[in-house]
Amino acid sequence: MSARFNAFGQPIGPALPDWSPRPRPPRTPMEGRTCRLVPLDAAAHGGALFETYSAAPDTRGWTYLGDEMPKSAAAYRARLETQQTSEDPLFYAILDPARGDALGIASYLRIDPGNGVIEVGHLHFGPRLQRSPAATEAMALMMTRAFEELGYRRYEWKCDSLNAPSRAAALRLGFTFEGIFRNAVVVKGRSRDTAWFSITAAEWPRVRAGFAAWLDPSNFDGEGRQRHGLADLRAASG
């Protein structure tokens, strides 16, 4: 990025003469080949989500979340009833397109239309969704909406700095690590340092090309194993 200078010789950022605040994300579905994202509905999705989280061998998937595994399906549904009405975070259920059952949740949050910044978070994938093409496609669909449908300039991912799987996932998906915010928040009575990652609108075309190549059915063999990794395909796209 070449520097611009004001009348005092001070460097200033690029001009955005056509910039205007971006729309807020709509409560509408996002359709993919391996998954669908729909607005979270406690009545429709609560039972399947509680079932899929209960199918995990232990509760380690809740360690870095802000809440704990609920004691019952009814308790979880009550929690979702609050989440489904939230505007920020704005929650979606990730569905199996064939069976229609919910496999996990995701949200947009810290939505900043004026600056064109949006974060993805509150990710909680059940065992069937973890490490699957549908998990990757869900993230690609949310990025596509943010950058292409809504025109946001910056897409963020944040996690506990000690959450190694989340940090690895961010890098695999094409985010750039930006640093650690020390003593950023208190979660479950613990101090949390937060790792920050982002993708900018200028980086999105290369990230999008990587997703398209990785998600292509030809990238998987007869047993569903990938032929080429996402990071490799993204690098090959230029």
Query: Could you tell me the residue ranges of all domains in the chain?
Result: 27-237
Whether residue 21 is preceded by a cis peptide bond, meaning omega within 30 degrees of 0, is no
Q: Residue 168: its pLDDT value, please?
A: 98
Closest CA to 88 of 65, 111, 119: 111
Q: What is the pLDDT of residues 22-73, one digit of tens each?
A: 999 999 999 999 999 999 999 999 999 999 999 999 999 999 999 999 999 9
CATH of domain 27-237: 3.40.630.30
Q: Residue 91: its pLDDT value, please?
A: 98
Q: Rounded CA gap, 26 and 133, in Å?
A: 24
| Element spanning 39, H or E | strand 36-39
Tokens 């063999």, residue located:
221
Q: Residue 11: its pLDDT value, please?
A: 94
The per-residue b/e assignment along 204-233, b for 16 or more CB within 10 angstroms, e otherwise, is beebbebbebbbeeebeeeeeeeeeebeeb
Instruction: Give every residue of the chain whose pLDDT is below 50, as ranges.
Output: none
Q: Residue 146: its pLDDT value, please?
A: 98
185-191: list long-range contacts, CB under 8 Å, 24+ apart: 187/64, 187/66, 187/160, 188/66, 188/68
Q: Residue 3: its pLDDT value, please?
A: 80
Q: Residue 157: its pLDDT value, please?
A: 98
The HSE-up count of residue 233 (CA atoms within 13 Å, CB side) is 20
